[in-house]
Amino acid sequence: MRRDIAAELAYRAYCETEGIPVDERALATRLPEEFFWVGDRMLDNPDEPEQATLTAALAVYAACTRKEPPPASEAWLSAIRKVRETLPKPALSARFSF
C-alpha cells in the first residue's frame, strides 16, 4: 500500500511542478511505471540523497523495461522531496526485521 501511495504522491508532485493537469484516469487505473520505480527506491532507501535516488531509479527502470527512461528533471526531484516530506519514515524495527 505504501508503494501505491508513494507512486501517487510522486505523480501528483511531478504534475504540479511541470504545471500539467493530473490525469485522474491514470490514478484510477494505473500510473506510468516510472513513478513506481522512483517510489520503490524512496521507500527502500529513505535517507539516500534525492539525486542519487532519481539516478538509480531511472537506471533500473531503463534496464528492466528496456525503455528509454524519462529525463531527470527538477520535476522528478520535487516529486521525491514531496513524497519524503509526506510519507513517514518506517520505524527502525520495521526496516530491520530478523
Residues in the chain, overall count: 98
pTM as predicted: 0.77
Please give the chain's pLDDT, 98 residues, in tens: 778 888 898 899 899 989 999 999 988 888 888 888 888 888 888 889 999 999 998 998 899 989 998 888 999 998 888 888 888 776 654 555 54
What's the confidence (pLDDT) of residue 93? Answer: 45
User: Amino acid letter at 72?
Assistant: A
How far is the CA of 2 from the CAs of 7, 11, 34, 63, in angstroms? 8, 14, 16, 24
What's the confidence (pLDDT) of residue 90? Answer: 66
How far apart, in whole angstroms, are the C-alpha atoms of residue 98 and residue 32? 34
What's the confidence (pLDDT) of residue 49? Answer: 92
